[in-house]
Amino acid sequence: MVGAQSYRNGLIVADAQARLIRVSPTGAMTTIGQYATASMPSIWSMVVDHDNRHVVAVASGIAISSPAGALLRIDPVTGSATTLTALTAPFSIATDEHGGFLVGTGFALLKLEGAAMTASTVVATGGFVIPTRDPTTGDWLLSRDGKLLERHAADFSGQRATHTHGLGWLFAMDHDPHGPLIYAASPATLAAFDLRRNAFTSLATVPQATPTALDAALAADRAPDASGGLVYVSRSTPLSVIEVYDRAGTVVRTIGPFPAKVTAIAFDGARNIAFGVVAAPNHRAIRIRIPEDAGKTCVCAVGVTGYTPGLSLAGGRTIPLRPDNVMLLSVTGRLSPLLRGNIKTLDAGGRMVATLDLNPLGNAVRGVPVWIVAVTLDPQAPGGIATVTRPAIVVH
């Protein structure tokens, strides 16, 4: 599908029986594997790893009364799984900008990093906490206690604000790639949290089966697909399906039914930009992987004034980056030596690595967010651009 901005490789879906299912763009389903054990019967959350090849899934029981849990790294091609680490009562997972993971448990929000998955507590909290990144500031938003949305600094050095809502437990959150909205799914509601006004708006009702606990998975696509869909949300009444919503909260199509309650949704091959630390604190490798565009020229652009409203492209697409002076310098190769290797031909695996080195600027960049977007060039695509990635953010 030339010129698409949506994810082109379909979905990976997890269910309450610890089953992973691949869903093709046409809706065809293939079981990748089933990973349930007596003590860890379900998968409750998952992310695509920074290598853009593996899924890291949270396997566990349902409640504190069944506390065994683990992080599993699963190859969605072969179905093979390895245990990264054991955890007590894990529920949610997110990735950070250094290649590590944030895991919400029944007791705390943990940071796990390094080959040994060394764990440290970043927020001590009661209740199952769900983290997501605020793409407008780099802050972390944490849902917990059934009515609170906490805002924490990017490095968890302090809590900035608390927002209340009446939606009950939020089971999943993801951000709109082209606007300052966080989509959230509760047992009965799809809602949008406006990051500018700090206000929730209910978009749609999402009926769930009884019991309602640990349901309402959610994932937001880069842009509407051909049917106009953007937000993928699970429901389990009367059947277990995924409904695809547009930004107005209207269902434009349905995927399924699935054999069991859907508990997590990810886009296959979704992580196009990942980061690695070259030299602390502010020298980073920017790892780009767009497998479907191997051999094409890729331009990695950076900006410092935000990702919305962005630049409009042919076909209704948007490059989610404001055209500030830094962005203009980056796409013309004039940010060297701060930014190197950001215009290259993707290798046979669709990969390239650029480097962003702000260490020479010292404390002048402390707390400064930088947004990063990659595009691939194709003269046959609308506007000459084949793929546009989601915006990624780092806070220095």
| pLDDT at res. 64 | 56
Cis-peptide, bond into residue 369, ω within 30° of zero: no
CA-atom Rg of the chain in angstroms: 20
> Which residue type sits at 368?
V
* Residue pair 186/169 in contact by the 8 Å Cβ criterion: yes
* CB-based contacts of 99-107 (< 8 A; 24+ apart in sequence): 99/50, 99/274, 99/275, 99/276, 101/47, 101/56, 101/71, 102/131, 102/140, 103/58, 103/71, 104/128, 104/129, 104/130, 104/131, 104/142, 104/144, 105/69, 105/129, 106/63, 106/64, 106/67
| pLDDT at res. 43 | 93
| pLDDT at res. 33 | 97
**CA 220 from centroid of its chain's CA atoms:** 8
Max Cα–Cα distance, the chain, nearest Å: 59
- Residue 119: name the closest of 103, 140, 143 by CA: 103
| pLDDT at res. 203 | 96
Q: Indicate the burial class of 316 (C-beta count within 10 angstroms; 0-12, 13-18, 19 or more).
A: exposed
Q: Which residue has the tokens 């609308």?
A: 382
| pLDDT at res. 259 | 94
* Residue pair 71/83 in contact by the 8 Å Cβ criterion: yes
Residue ranges per domain, the chain? Answer: 11-267, 273-395
Strand partners for 298: 344, 376
| CATH class of the domain at 273-395 | mainly beta
List the pLDDT tens digit at each of the 396 positions of the chain: 334 444 456 899 999 899 999 998 788 999 999 999 988 999 999 998 877 778 999 998 865 566 889 999 999 989 999 999 999 889 899 998 878 899 998 888 999 988 899 999 999 876 778 999 999 899 999 998 778 899 999 989 989 899 888 888 888 999 998 889 999 998 889 999 999 898 999 999 988 876 655 678 999 987 777 788 899 999 988 999 999 999 999 999 999 999 999 999 998 766 788 888 888 888 999 999 888 889 999 999 999 999 988 998 877 788 999 999 999 999 999 999 999 999 999 999 889 999 999 999 998 888 899 999 999 999 988 889 988 988 999 987
Both tokens of 376, joined, read 């691939």
Strand partners for 164: 148
* Residue pair 243/11 in contact by the 8 Å Cβ criterion: no
Q: Which residue has the tokens 């082109």?
A: 8
* Residue pair 10/22 in contact by the 8 Å Cβ criterion: yes
SS (H, E, C) the chain: CCCCCCCCCCEEEEECCCEEEEECCCCCEEEEEECCCCCCCEEEEEEECCCCCCEEEEEECCCCCCCEEEEEEECCCCCCEEEEEEEECEEEEEECCCCCEEEEECCEEEEEECCCCEEEEEEECCCCCEEEECCCCCCEEEEECCCEEEEECCCCCCEEEEEECCCCCCCEEEECCCCCEEEEECCCEEEEEECCCCEEEEEEECCCCCCCCCCCCEEECCCCCCCCCCEEEEECCCCCEEEEECCCCCEEEEECCCCCCEEEEEECCCCCEEEEEEECCCEEEEEEECHHHCCCEEEEEEECCCCCCCEECHHHCEECCCCCHHHHHHHCCCCCCCEECCEEECCCCCEEEEEEECHHHHHHHCCCEEEEEEEEECCCCHHHEEEECCCEEEEC
CATH superfamily of 11-267: TolB, C-terminal domain (2.120.10.30)
